[in-house]
Amino acid sequence: MSAARHRRRRAWLERASEALGLIPELGPGDAALEPLVEPGEPLLKFPPEAQWDDWSEYDSQAWPRRQLRQRMLVPTTCFNCESACGLLAYVDKETGQVQRFEGNPRHPASRGRTCAKGPATINQIHDPDRILFPLKRKGARGEGGWERIGWEQALAEIGGRIGRALTEGRRNEVVYHVGRPGHEGYMDRVLRAWGVDGHNSHTNVCSGAARFGYALWQKYDRPSPDYSHAKFILLISAHLESGHYFNPHAQRIVEGMLAGAELAVLDPRLSNTASRATYWLPTQPGSEAAVLLAMAKILLDEGLVDRRFVERWVNWRDYLRRSTSATAAGAGPAAEPRFDDFLARLAADYAEFTPEFAAAESGVPASQIVAVARRIGAAGSAFACHTWRAAGSGNLGGWAVARAMQLLTVLTGSLGTRGGTSPSGWNKFVPDLPLNPPAQKLWNELHFPREWPLCHYEMSFVLPHLLREGRGRLDTYFTRVFNPVWTYPDGFAWIEMLTDESKVGCHVALTPTWNETAFFADYVLPMGHGSERHDLNSYETHDALWIAFRQPVLREALRRQGKTVERTWQANPGEVWEEDEFWIDLSWRIDPDGALGVRKHFESPSRPGQPLSVDEYYGHIFERVPGLPEAAAQERLSPLGYMRRYGAFEVKSSCLLQHEDALAPEAAARGAADAEGRWLTPQGAVLGVVQDGVPRKGFPTPSGRLELDSGTMRDWGWPEYSRPVYVRSHVHPSRLDRARGEFVLLPTFRLPNLIHSRSGNAKWLAEISHRNPVWVNREDAARLGLATDDLVRVETEIGHFVDKVWVTEAVKPGVVCCSHHIGRWRRSQDPRANRWAVNTVRLARNGSVWTMSTVAGIEPGDNADPDTRRIWWRDGGVHQNITHAVHPDPVSGMHCWHQKVRVVKAGPDDRYGDVAVDMARSQQVFREWRALTRPDAGPPNLRRPLWFNRPLRPADEAYRRTV
Ligand code: SF4
């Protein structure tokens, strides 16, 4: 069909308007496009892959002229949350710039879709205020002075410091603290090569508690629901709109619902997720485990249990044997355990969790709890559920929520089934890394302190408190896409830590954009957004196993044009770099002659004496991905070439029921069965479990089965928590005095279009959401005499913040909410950046009390982006997290985010955005929570249970304490 046939005929009105000069000339333009489909055929959703190298489209900016542009479509992955959805960068061939981002249809998890944050990457990379060059501070740390330096200077100075620390035996003083990881194993490899136990992460302000609850059952510490095929879905939190793996999960939840699944949501807030639910259960914060255990009781009482699954795969014999009241049920400790006795014992143990009890704790009607439990039972093996942050991260004992939720999965036999919930590890690819160093033999007590021997992830949020007590020092401290001054509780403690050079010798902030923590750095090193860096991604988004490749798209576009780029910063805007190459080059500066044994892990295998290249690194990995070399060969590509072209690869299309897999012959040959049916090596390591006479994989736990009874909890001092339990939260209603104006503050909920602290330079996102009022229920507002937009003072344990009120029915009475995404700030001496979202504030300290007051809200300004002059909003919200004390859970170590607060009308001296915090009180609250721990209850001289995973796992010998 000729292009001419598709030229649009202009209406007479258009022709007349053109002639009169009322509108610009509409055409014919410089060319016309061939149609992609014939009239009547289905429209294409994406440009055909065959045209990705040379794609013609009209320039939207040239309208009303029809001006054709030639684009090259280069895949990468989004870096704006943990999901790593596939993006296609439309690179303009004439300007060499990225014109926009859309979804990559080849990506198995996101399937061509994105949320608002994916396409907004274009805002971030074109932000005129972004950090484009390496900077070094001028003047005192935190004073606000900066000078531009080159990468070579930064590498030499930082590498020299680290080299000296390693040489002088101060290896635990070198620390890498990560906010958004976004890669698979890269940093573990780097830190192991350096021989440091230097990994710190944000997990214990995020998902550490839920992970702990899952890990007690099965070692794998996350759920992987198969929503698409579920008959019933249970979510704790606003998972559909803002959850972990947000877009991949959301589209599959909707897919499941369109196929008939029902959705139940536990959330004190009427989120957009709850508004889509079949059943919304507005639970009292912290009561979730009580509700879940009541549902478990209904499954037990009404015979809705998958007996075969539980009998085969749960350590019920241990449960029965260790149950203190087993004798009363007729099965004494010496008797051969019988499954029916176990079920009777279990039902008896949970007898107290009646629907009425759960209703009293949660405020949800008992009939609703019963109805949901029955629907779960009816769904059976097609019951999918998920909890992650929310209740788990909010409450003392929040880990018990995930443990109770997993009990429902176990009782219904929906673990690892189609429509059920798999362990995370089954859907996550583990790469084979090149030149991989051995595990370090050190243990860093600043990250894994002895007071929390069960903590599953680093106790990162108490780092300033530990340093304040003189328990260590950091020589070189990297913060990487990480902003604890703003995102963490107790941010003033971080400011104090970072400005004290006796505690932190050198702070290096690796960041794509200015943030509150980078203001207190010695070096600010610009690192790329999702289209400016390399990373390997693989996440448990659904029933499959996939990998995706984040790549610097301009570098890849130049490569396709036959141009060689030595380092990614030469292709990116300014000198924005990427961590992969930075760590390689830094490692060479740490160990220039190879004497420390570091450099050999970063040398090219094919070019002696040269640094490892990213092509060699990823080429090694991709050549070892099952099926990828064959798929690539079919297209006459190398595995790396395939990933550069398509950006993603599905390794397996389904991964269910792996616990039933027979052990591989070589593993089976290494073991033998014990009396419990475990398949053990001669050294006692569990390889699997015998079922039907066959040694099968089972689960990587001490029993080889799902641990309903946790011997670990008994051995480490928490016998009362050895089975799924309900722990009353620190914000339980019995601990609140409503007459005094006390509320539970929920400070954790996400806004779907914002990133923790990286959306400040995404204008589209900030325009949608830029204020965080306190949600107050209508009843409470009437009692307190509050109306929308009134000012309130929200008093925490250590200070207060002043915010506006939003009166609403969308939150339970007695509970107030405030989104944590908003309230970004800079001081007047700090660089002008993130202008879409940042207030200008004044910080002051008087004795032990810090204050923050807003000097100016968001304002229009002048820079290269004309939209900056069009900023119409002035309200940048309030920084609430900085007024929260740290609440380390005594078992999991997770920060318990919910706050007991007093909400009162603002006084005459209170101003919107005011913050005050007493640091003496902050340290006191830390100590009060630490006093809840049982540090010496575990086996002597063992730091942690050996079977537990931990980030950057050291050699087993490091788990043993020598002093
Ligand atoms: S869910 Fe949104 S922010 Fe997260 S990776 Fe996908 S597109 Fe990016």
Q: Ligand 1: which atom is nearest the Cα of residue 246?
A: 1
Q: Ligand 1: which atom is nearest the Cα of residue 755?
A: 3
Q: Ligand 1: which atom is nearest the Cα of residue 110?
A: 6
Closest CA to 14 of 32, 5, 3, 27: 27
Q: Ligand 1: which atom is nearest the Cα of residue 80?
A: 3
Closest CA to 687 of 675, 676, 701: 701
Sorting pLDDT into bands at 50, 70 and 90, what band is 609?
Answer: very high
Q: Strand, helix or coil at 565?
A: coil
Residue type, 936: D
Q: Which helix (H) or strand (E) holds 135?
A: strand 135-138
Angstrom distances, CA of residue 6 to CA of 64, 65, 70, 413: 17, 16, 20, 58
Angstrom distances, CA of residue 412 to CA of 340, 383, 408, 696: 16, 8, 6, 21
Q: CA–CA separation, 279 vs 289, rounded Å?
A: 17
Does 329 score more than 60 pLDDT? Answer: no
Nearest CA to ligand 1 atom 4: 81
Q: CA–CA separation, 853 vs 802, rounded Å?
A: 10
As to burial, measured by CB atoms within 10 angstroms (0-12 exposed, 13-18 middle, 19+ buried), residue 12 is exposed
Q: How many CB atoms neighbour CB 787 within 10 A?
A: 10
- Lookup: tokens for 255: 């897919």
- 246 C-alpha vs ligand 1 centroid, how far in Å? 7
Residues in Cβ contact with 157 at an 8 Å cutoff, skipping those fewer than 6 apart: 523
- Lookup: tokens for 578: 């990427």
Closest CA to 114 of 125, 126, 105: 105
Q: Tell the residue number behind the tokens 């990225």, with chain if given.
A: 98
Residues in Cβ contact with 618 at an 8 Å cutoff, skipping those fewer than 6 apart: 534, 536, 549, 640, 643
Return the sign of the alpha-carbon dihedral for residues 693, 694, 700, 705: negative
- Lookup: tokens for 838: 């940042």
Backbone dihedral angles phi then psi of residue 197, each to the nearest 5 degrees: -95, 60
pLDDT tens by residue, 921-938: 999 999 999 999 999 899
**Which among 77, 79, 83 is the best mutation to test ligand 1's pocket, defined by most ligand atoms within 8 Å of the CB?**
83
Q: Strand, helix or coil at 505?
A: strand
What distance lies between CA 819 and its chain's CA centroid? 17
Rounded percentage of the chain residues whose pLDDT exceeds 70: 97
Residue-level pLDDT at 44: 86
- Beta strands 199-201 and 174-178, pairing class: parallel
CB of 247 sitting under 6 A from ligand 1: yes
Sorting pLDDT into bands at 50, 70 and 90, what band is 3?
Answer: very low
Long-range contacts of 710-717 (CB under 8 A, 24+ apart): 710/216, 711/318, 711/322, 712/216, 712/454, 712/945, 712/947, 712/948, 713/216, 714/322, 715/938, 715/939, 715/945, 716/453, 716/454, 716/934, 716/937, 716/938, 716/939, 716/945, 717/934, 717/936, 717/937, 717/938
Q: CA–CA separation, 516 vs 830, rounded Å?
A: 9
Q: Please give the model's pTM, rounded to 2 decimal places.
A: 0.96
Return the sign of the alpha-carbon dihedral for residues 681, 684, 687, 692: positive
Does 7 score more than 70 pLDDT? Answer: no
- Beta strands 648-652 and 223-225, pairing class: unpaired
For the chain, what's the residue count?
Answer: 963
Q: Tell the residue number behind the tokens 């897999």, with chain if given.
A: 661
Residue-level pLDDT at 40: 87
Residue-level pLDDT at 239: 80
**Which among 239, 246, 529 is the best mutation to test ligand 1's pocket, defined by most ligand atoms within 8 Å of the CB?**
246
Over residues 364-387, mean pLDDT: 98
Residues in Cβ contact with 860 at an 8 Å cutoff, skipping those fewer than 6 apart: 868, 869, 870, 871
**Which among 77, 79, 81, 124 is the best mutation to test ligand 1's pocket, defined by most ligand atoms within 8 Å of the CB?**
81
Residue type, 704: G
Give the number of C-alpha atoms closer than 13 A to the C-alpha of residue 31, restricted to the C-beta side.
11
- 481 C-alpha vs ligand 1 centroid, how far in Å? 16
Residue-level pLDDT at 331: 46
Residue-level pLDDT at 882: 98
Q: CA–CA separation, 316 vs 322, rounded Å?
A: 10
pLDDT tens by residue, 853-900: 999 999 999 999 999 999 999 999 999 999 999 999 999 999 999 999
Angstrom distances, CA of residue 503 to CA of 300, 496, 507, 590: 55, 10, 10, 22
Q: Answer for the pair 165, 158: CB distance below 8 angstroms, yes or no.
A: no
Q: CA–CA separation, 672 vs 665, rounded Å?
A: 12
Nearest CA to ligand 1 atom 6: 85
- 115 C-alpha vs ligand 1 centroid, how far in Å? 5
Count, in order, helices (H) and strands (E) of the chain: 29, 34
Residue-level pLDDT at 29: 52
Closest CA to 397 of 942, 954, 932, 950: 932
What distance lies between CA 314 and its chain's CA centroid? 30
Q: CA–CA separation, 402 vs 267, rounded Å?
A: 15
Residue-level pLDDT at 4: 43
| CA 437-952-82 angle, 5° bins | 115
Residue-level pLDDT at 5: 46
- 114 C-alpha vs ligand 1 centroid, how far in Å? 6
Residue type, 815: V
CB of 84 sitting under 6 A from ligand 1: yes
Q: Tell the residue number behind the tokens 């590509």, with chain if given.
A: 637
Ranges of beta strands (E only) in 779-918 are 791-795, 799-808, 815-817, 824-827, 838-846, 849-856, 899-905, 915-918
- 247 C-alpha vs ligand 1 centroid, how far in Å? 6
- 527 C-alpha vs ligand 1 centroid, how far in Å? 19
pLDDT tens by residue, 554-601: 999 999 999 999 999 999 999 999 999 999 999 999 999 999 999 999
Over residues 321-326, mean pLDDT: 69
Does 1 score more than 50 pLDDT? Answer: no
CB of 820 sitting under 6 A from ligand 1: no
**DSSP class of 761:** T
Q: Tell the residue number behind the tokens 């019995």, with chain if given.
A: 734
Q: Ligand 1: which atom is nearest the Cα of residue 248?
A: 1
Q: Answer for the pair 402, 213: CB distance below 8 angstroms, yes or no.
A: yes
Q: CA–CA separation, 705 vs 218, rounded Å?
A: 7
Q: Which helix (H) or strand (E) holds 669?
A: helix 665-669
- 81 C-alpha vs ligand 1 centroid, how far in Å? 5
**Which among 78, 125, 253, 481 is the best mutation to test ligand 1's pocket, defined by most ligand atoms within 8 Å of the CB?**
78
Q: CA–CA separation, 739 vs 733, rounded Å?
A: 12
- Beta strands 799-808 and 915-918, pairing class: antiparallel
- 233 C-alpha vs ligand 1 centroid, how far in Å? 22
Q: Tell the residue number behind the tokens 């040398």, with chain if given.
A: 603
Mean pLDDT of the chain: 95
Over residues 802-807, mean pLDDT: 98
Q: Which helix (H) or strand (E) holds 724?
A: none
Angstrom distances, CA of residue 951 to CA of 189, 237, 691, 710: 12, 26, 32, 22
CB of 182 sitting under 6 A from ligand 1: no
Top pLDDT among 30 and 484 is at 484
Q: Answer for the pair 326, 345: CB distance below 8 angstroms, yes or no.
A: yes
CB of 200 sitting under 6 A from ligand 1: no
The separation between the first and the last C-alpha atoms of the chain, rounded to the nearest angstrom, is: 82
Residue-level pLDDT at 38: 85
pLDDT tens by residue, 821-858: 899 999 999 999 999 999 999 999 999 999 999 999 99
What distance lies between CA 613 and its chain's CA centroid? 28
Nearest CA to ligand 1 atom 1: 247
Residue type, 75: P
Does 26 score more than 70 pLDDT? Answer: no
Residue-level pLDDT at 863: 93
pLDDT tens by residue, 391-423: 999 999 999 999 999 999 999 999 999 999 999
Q: CA–CA separation, 917 vs 914, rounded Å?
A: 10
- 78 C-alpha vs ligand 1 centroid, how far in Å? 6
Residue-level pLDDT at 2: 40
Residue-level pLDDT at 121: 98
- 105 C-alpha vs ligand 1 centroid, how far in Å? 14
Q: Which residues pair with 87 in a beta bridge?
A: 76, 103
Q: Ligand 1: which atom is nearest the Cα of residue 250?
A: 1
- 532 C-alpha vs ligand 1 centroid, how far in Å? 16
Q: Quick check: bond before 695 cis, omega within 30?
A: no
Does 293 score more than 70 pLDDT? Answer: yes
**DSSP class of 115:** -
Does 113 score more than 70 pLDDT? Answer: yes
- Lookup: tokens for 348: 């008896």
Q: Tell the residue number behind the tokens 């943990």, with chain if given.
A: 82
Closest CA to 951 of 500, 470, 459: 459
**Which among 77, 80, 254 is the best mutation to test ligand 1's pocket, defined by most ligand atoms within 8 Å of the CB?**
80
Over residues 231-238, mean pLDDT: 94
- Beta strands 474-480 and 174-178, pairing class: parallel
Closest CA to 316 of 422, 212, 411: 411
Q: How many CB atoms neighbour CB 654 within 10 A?
A: 13
CB of 80 sitting under 6 A from ligand 1: yes
CB of 250 sitting under 6 A from ligand 1: no
Q: CA–CA separation, 889 vs 894, rounded Å?
A: 5
Sorting pLDDT into bands at 50, 70 and 90, what band is 27?
Answer: low
- 339 C-alpha vs ligand 1 centroid, how far in Å? 46
